[in-house]
Structure 1
Amino acid sequence: MLFKVGATGRESLESFFNHWILSGLALYGLGTLLWIFALSRLPLTVVYPFTALTFVLVYLGGVLVLGEQTSLRAVSGVLLVMLGLYLISSAP
């Protein structure tokens, strides 16, 4: 979301170097470190499915924070992703 905010309305290469983009890059780096840590502790089949949660979080952030439009089809997709995560995480 920080990348979206930092990129909106920008046209020149220099304008992409702003605090929103730099903050997004810093958090992306932190997320990568946390991802590696999680992979070192848990099986890939447990950790990897939760990357699908980013689709849900980004969608919610776009709607709630950035005021983007939603639709019944999109909400249904989010619910299906959540159902899939539930089924994968509750599998024996």
Structure 2
Amino acid sequence: MRSVASLAGMILCMTISQILLKMAGQHSSAHPGAVEGFMRNPWLWAALGASAGGIGCWLLTLRRLPLSVAYPWTALIYVLTPLAGAALFAEALTGRYAFGMALILAGVVLTSRSVTRS
């Protein structure tokens, strides 16, 4: 159960990190210059913190699960991040994009069922 929680934590942290990086980019475009745009960019620092949290969760996951079992689930980041982008930033998702996300989900299901835990 802990491995599932740490894996879910990694996926969530890395998705949040991508959203925060988008916000950091918006902040830096509104605040030109290295100091205001990057060094004093709260979104950038939050994104780095979320990434660090994701790495920590990933390390905990790999302590308990084989890489071949855990790694396919990381593809969920490629589904959750665009959905969050659409919800938070009104980014458009086309039918082709939705089809691609469905293929990613199918791949996660197929690969997770084809690997045995050791």
Greater relative contact order, per chain length (Cα 8 Å cut-off, separation 6+): 2
TM-score past 0.5 threshold:
yes
Matches within 5 A, 1:10-89: 10=30, 11-14=32-35, 15-17=37-39, 18-89=41-112
User: What TM-score comes out, normalization by structure 2 length?
Assistant: 0.73
Aligned CA RMSD, in angstroms, stands at: 1.2
CA distance in 2, matches of 1:12, 1:49: 39
Q: How many residues align?
A: 92
Give the structure 2 partner of residue 6 of structure 1: 24
User: What TM-score comes out, normalization by structure 1 length?
Assistant: 0.92
1:12: how far off? 1.9
Structure 1 residue runs of 4 or more that deviate by more than 4 Å after TM superposition: none
1:86: how far off? 0.8
Structure 2, gaps ≥5 residues long:
1-18
Identity of aligned residues (%): 33
